Every structure is written in structure tokens, then in C-alpha cells.
Amino acid sequence: MAVEHDIRDIDLEHGGRLRIDWASQEMPVLRSIRDRFEKEKPLDGIRISACMHVTTETANLMQVLQVGGADVVLCASNPLSTQDDVAASLVANNEIPVYAKKGEDNDTFFEHINAVLDHEPHMTMDDGADLVSILHTKRSNLLENIIGGTEETTTGVIRLKAMAKDGALKFPIVAANDSDTKHLFDNRYGTGQSTLDGIIRATNILLAGKVVVVGGYGWCSRGIAMRARGLGAQTIVTEVDTVKALEAVMDGFQVMPMATAAPIGDIFVSATGDIHVIDTHHLEVMKDGAMVANSGHFDVEINVKGLKAMSTGDAKLVRPSVQQYNRKNGKGAINLIGEGRLVNLAAAEGHPASVMDMSFAIQALAAEYMLKNSDTLENKVYVLPEEVDQEVARIKLEAMGIKIDTLTAEQEAYLNQWQVGTH
């Protein structure tokens, strides 16, 4: 009999299995951790409740944790990001309880978070801090079991740091996001490519010759802007941070306020972690047929409520992930992609496996680190030591067949002295 679950359809397992194995081929770093975990069982007997996007890459991570001895359960960190065949495969082939259905309503989303908490975890693995937040507010009776947790994304880390600052955080967290081999690659190259993949799959538009407006110039948005330009779009960046704005200018992008870009753009995509970056006064003046999407963690970056209020009647579903709103002001249609939720997961498959390889290697090592250091860690947000990044990068380079130089003894000595300067 299958383990406990609430998924769409267990008969989808075969397709899920094939796709999970396909992703695994691109995840050499995680595979090497798997080999070690299989021998050492560092997570033996530990119950881990994970709230993450249910994708092929996450499935590989869950299996590594399980091989390492953990008892893992999984729910979705976003109502639209679940890949139902992956959920089915984890239940059918790995006996991992999964609670996630693509398109689940908000009540079900929170029921599923509660279901993974019913497993009384020793450790949490979160993407956006919803699990930790519910644990601290509605399920605080479970806190005494918890050794620590890990967090995958920028928005989650911001929320957890705010909790720590208020003295509200009741267990230590490792911010996987803040490791270099995570955000430098996942946020930039992963979000960069997969966000455009989501927009293209949803709309099938040609980006060459279009005006793409990117909200933000942080790790994710920088990647999106870079890739939009690479596909031939005239790319505009909006920012609130002067240094980032200057960087965008020097990287060759047009930089302007969103209000100036709003009537010019064809496609808008925001990835800032901030609220209402694309607000009603922007939506009011956009061109007929403008497309808007979000790749930030929560569905707050576009003022969707405002868009609904300024439109006549209900939105028309014009393609599977595109809702068309007709504005009352006579300016025509606005196309909302993926309901304003993470477009790369709502309309595509999330980040490619090769980049999640490093992010999830960091997650697996973070779980191990948390256990090993549980006696000394305080209720704060930690980053893994730099050597872990070096090691992840080393294995990745090796798997890519790339060799690099090492410091000679002379260079090592030179870089560690202060006496030799100008000759």
C-alpha cells in the first residue's frame, strides 16, 4: 500500500520517474553527495518536513535525504508549481509521502503544509518560510522537537532574518540561498533562463524586437535582463537601489522608473521580492495587449487585485497560462501570465537541473551541517562556511571536465605577506 499522500493521480508515476532520472543526469554534485550519504547515513532517524516546489530536481534532493537516513515528507511551496507526475513518482517509487496538487486552492495549500507538520519534524526545509511561519504561529506545540531548518530563497531568508531580529525565531536556520554556489548561479542563470522559458511557453511570442521591462536588477532580475537581451529584446530595467541601477546602466541597459516604462513596454516581468512593483497606475497606461509576469517568490509584485478592479467582467483564459483582462478605461487588454505567480514554475518547469544541482547540494549539506552543529547553533540565520562553496564548485567543475590552476607555493607565500610592495 502507498504511503500517506494527497496528490493528483498516482498513475502518472511512470512519466514522473523518467523525468526525475533525466534531471539526475545533470546533477553530478548531488549524486556525489548521495554516494557519500549512502555509506555514512548522516541523517539517520531524522524526520524532515519539506515545503518546496515539487519538481524533478526536488525529487532528486528528497531521495538523497532519504538515502542519508532521513524520513522525508514533502508539500508544495507554491500552489501552481507542482509537477503532478513527480509527486506521483515519489509516492509510488520512493515511499515518500507527498501532499501537493498543481492548481490547489489556498485552503488545500495550507492543509498540505499542516499535513507535513503532522509528521512532527526534527528539521524543516522551506522555500519562502511559509512552513516555519505556520510552525511558529499555529503549530508551536511542535517547536520542541525541532533541531533546525534550511531556507531556499531570498524572500524566505528576509522573513527569517526579520523573525530572528524580533527574537521570534525558535530554532536555527541555514540560509541555503546565501551560499555563493546557490544565488550566483540559481538566481541568476536559473531564474534568468527559466523565466523567459515560462513566458515563451505561455505565449509563444518572439522576443526579438519586443520591449521587455524587467523590475529589479538583483540576482534574479539581472539574469532575466541578460537573457532577454540575448534573445533580441530591447530591455529596460527599473530599480530603487542606486548602485544596482548604475550597474544596469553600465551593463548597457536603459534604466527608468516603472511609470515611464509602463506605456513603452510589450512584456513586463518583475523579480524583486517587493510588493506592487507593477501597480495599478502602471497597468492603467500599458499598451493594448501588454503582457505581465512575475518571477519573485510571492504573487504580490503585480497588483492583480487592482488589475481585476480596473477590468470589465472576468478575465478570459486565452491560453493555458494566460488570463486576458479588458480594461474599463478603453485602453484594451492586459495579459497576465501564470496568475502573477512565479512564472518559471507556473508556466515552465522551473530551473534546469544543472543549476539546481548546486542549490540542492547546498541544501543536503546544510541539513548535515545543522545536525552536526546543533549543540552550538543559536536561533539565528546562518550561512554555510565558504569551504562548502569551494567544494561544491570543485565537484561541478570536475563533472564539467574543466581544470583550473592552483596556487604555487611562491604565490601562496606572496598572497599571505605584506612586506613586498612596489619594486
**How far is 10 from 99, CA to CA, in rounded Å?**
12
Rounded to a whole number of angstroms, the minimum distance from the CB of residue 190 to ligand NAD is 7
Question: Going by C-beta distance under 8 Å and a sequence separation of 6 or more, which residues neighbour residue 279?
Answer: 258, 303, 306
Candidates 33-41, 105-113, 149-157, 410-418; binding stretch for ligand NAD (CB under 6 A)? 149-157
Rounded to a whole number of angstroms, the minimum distance from the CB of residue 88 to ligand NAD is 23
**DSSP letters of 282-336?**
HHHHSPTTEEEEE-SSSTTSB-HHHHHHTBSSSPEEEETTEEEEEBTTSS-EEEE
User: Is residue 192 involved in binding ligand NAD (CB under 6 A)?
Assistant: no
**Grid cell listed for 244:** 544596482
Pick from 102, 159, 161, 183: which binds ligand NAD (CB under 6 A)? 183
Alpha-helical segments (H) within 166-279: 180-182, 191-203, 219-230, 242-250, 258-261
**Grid cell listed for 102:** 498543481
**How far is 122 from 94, CA to CA, in rounded Å?**
20
**How far is 222 from 228, CA to CA, in rounded Å?**
10
User: Is residue 57 involved in binding ligand NAD (CB under 6 A)?
Assistant: no
User: Is residue 342 involved in binding ligand NAD (CB under 6 A)?
Assistant: yes
> Could you tell me the end-to-end alpha-carbon distance of the chain, in angstroms, rounded to an integer?
77
C-beta of 37 vs 217, nearer to ligand NAD: 217
Rounded to a whole number of angstroms, the minimum distance from the CB of residue 124 to ligand NAD is 17
User: Is residue 191 involved in binding ligand NAD (CB under 6 A)?
Assistant: yes
Residue 257 and residue 280 in contact, taking contact as beta carbons nearer than 8 Å: no
C-beta of 194 vs 234, nearer to ligand NAD: 194
User: Is residue 359 involved in binding ligand NAD (CB under 6 A)?
Assistant: no
Pick from 344, 347, 352, 388: which binds ligand NAD (CB under 6 A)? 344
**How far is 410 from 132, CA to CA, in rounded Å?**
49
User: Is residue 55 involved in binding ligand NAD (CB under 6 A)?
Assistant: no
| CB-nearest residue to ligand NAD | 218
Residue with cell 522555500: 127
Map the footprint of ligand NAD across residues 270-329, applying CB under 6 A. Answer: 271-274, 277, 295-297
User: Is residue 139 involved in binding ligand NAD (CB under 6 A)?
Assistant: no
C-beta of 183 vs 201, nearer to ligand NAD: 183
Map the footprint of ligand NAD across residues 194-253, applying CB under 6 A. Answer: 215-221, 238-241, 244
Rounded to a whole number of angstroms, the minimum distance from the CB of residue 127 to ligand NAD is 8
**How far is 347 from 205, CA to CA, in rounded Å?**
14
User: Is residue 155 involved in binding ligand NAD (CB under 6 A)?
Assistant: yes
Map the footprint of ligand NAD across residues 256-275, applying CB under 6 A. Answer: 271-274
Residues in the site for ligand NAD, rule: CB under 6 A? Answer: 153-155, 183, 187, 191, 215-221, 238-241, 244, 271-274, 277, 295-297, 342, 344
